């Protein structure tokens, strides 16, 4: 019985068109999207793992680095579809690199000076669970989801050490996220769709802190 349950769950995830007749039952979809995201508000960076020759432990975090940031990357995920209407996100993950040209920036934390290298910044995010709904009109489909998750940004940096600076592991910052995604999709065939999506950040290092625009490919029920 246990083997049957495991096999059933695996089939739901790997076979995107499991659904009963008349559009009722449980199906799934796999998607991947290219995403550009923008955040007008910045965040402070944790320095608690940093030390130099003068101090074994530097505590706290930097002040927000003071400029807006834009990222470009890829996100992918799996959703369950109930009764061809309700979207039940299972999980998704994304990885992004910073866009644009940024000069090094000097900031301080706990009495120590840091030089940030924004040009090497990356961001990782993941979303777990959530809820959504979709509607179909001939070859068109409209989707809306709300999903909680978390994001981590990591920026290369150096700490003042004597008369110069010493490179350290990337400074990072983590945040809870809550996003609402709205999508317009065009069906390519019975199981494949291409979508344009806009995703406001309800919360991401602050309320209403920007959002993203993406081009997505979906396959599934």
Q: Can you give the pLDDT at residue 19?
A: 36
Nearest to 31 by CA among 212, 183, 211, 179: 183
Residue with tokens 């990072």: 172
Show the low-confidence residues of the chain (pLDDT under 50): 1-22
Give 129's contacts (C-beta < 8 A, 6+ positions apart).
Answer: 88, 89, 90, 91, 147, 148
Please state, in angstroms and rounded to a whole number, the distance separating the CA atoms of residues 144 and 83: 16
Whether the model pTM is above 0.85: no
Q: How far is CA 46 from the centre of its chain?
A: 20
H-helix or E-strand spanning residue 11: helix 2-14
Which residue has 């979207």 as its token pair? 87
Per DSSP, helices labelled H in 15-91 are none
Q: What pLDDT does 24 receive?
A: 61
Cα 5 to its chain centre, rounded Å, is 31
Set out the domains of the chain in order of their start, with CATH numbers: 2-45+70-102+121-154+175-220 (2.40.160.20)
Beta pairing class for 131-137 and 211-220: unpaired
């Amino acid at each position: 019985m246990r083997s049957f349950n495991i096999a059933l769950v695996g089939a739901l995830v790997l076979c995107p068109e499991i659904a009963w007749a008349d559009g009722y039952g449980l199906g799934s979809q796999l998607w991947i999207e290219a995403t550009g995201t923008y955040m007008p508000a910045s965040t402070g960076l944790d320095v608690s793992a940093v030390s130099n020759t003068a101090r074994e432990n530097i505590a706290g975090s930097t002040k927000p680095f003071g400029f807006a940031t834009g990222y470009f990357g890829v996100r992918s995920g799996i959703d369950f579809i109930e009764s061809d209407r309700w979207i039940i996100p299972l999980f998704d993950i994304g990885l992004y690199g910073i866009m644009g040209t940024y000069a090094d920036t000097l900031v301080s934390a706990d009495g120590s000076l840091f030089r940030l290298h924004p040009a090497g910044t990356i961001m990782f995010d993941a979303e777990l669970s959530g809820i959504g709904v979709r509607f179909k009109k001939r070859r068109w489909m409209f989707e809306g989801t709300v999903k909680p998750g978390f994001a981590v940004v990591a920026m290369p940096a150096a700490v003042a050490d004597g008369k110069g600076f010493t490179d350290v592991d990337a400074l990072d910052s983590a945040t809870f996220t809550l996003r609402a995604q709205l999508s317009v999709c065009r069906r390519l065939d019975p199981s494949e769709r291409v979508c344009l999506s806009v995703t406001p950040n309800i919360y991401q290092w602050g309320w209403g802190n920007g959002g993203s625009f993406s081009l997505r490919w979906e396959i599934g029920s």
